[in-house]
Structure 1
Amino acid sequence: YKNDNLAEKWDVIRKIRRVVTGALEIERQEKRIGSSLEAAPVVYIAKADWFDKTQDLNMADICITSQIDIRNEAPPTEAFTLDDVKEVGVTPALAVGQKCR
């Protein structure tokens, strides 16, 4: 069974997740977070069709974060991006709330 639309959607989702993961890895290395579950990144997606592909998914679960804010707008200059995914940028933020024990 082959569904080109579904394959394209998940290709885009994987690209977005790679940018989120890259941004959070820097936060871990700098000791600003201990794990991705302490994060609530803001994800900027410049392409409307890419943004639309995220709307029926729980991107916080996919990116393994506590919270996530997905915005259909160009990434700000200070956002983390990858050279091969310039359409997506991430600004890290800490999650609100207490850690479950």
Structure 2
Amino acid sequence: MNTLFGKAKEEAKPITPKSVDEYPEAPVSLGITLVNFTGDWRTFMPVIDESKCVKCYICWKYCPEPAIYIKEDGFVAIDYDYCKGCGICANECPTKAITMVREEK
């Protein structure tokens, strides 16, 4: 039997916030990895299409590294020194403004 936290896998339900107010107040990462440049691990890199971005900051809130920051104009940007290309930002973006592309090295 597949279990997930003591429940059958079939009973497990995804947690989906109903509004932006239910998201955390700060990014998931508290900056612990600021001393570790993790960008060298990356195979795919996120690319932001500002024409699709609605400045909801969900990507910033869920980034597990301190790689996404908010610019003065309110749009987000990626600090590729810290981005390890996990794709969480692209997966969480409600408007699909972030796409993952293979990085050329």
- Whether these two folds match at TM > 0.5 is no
Larger radius of gyration: 2
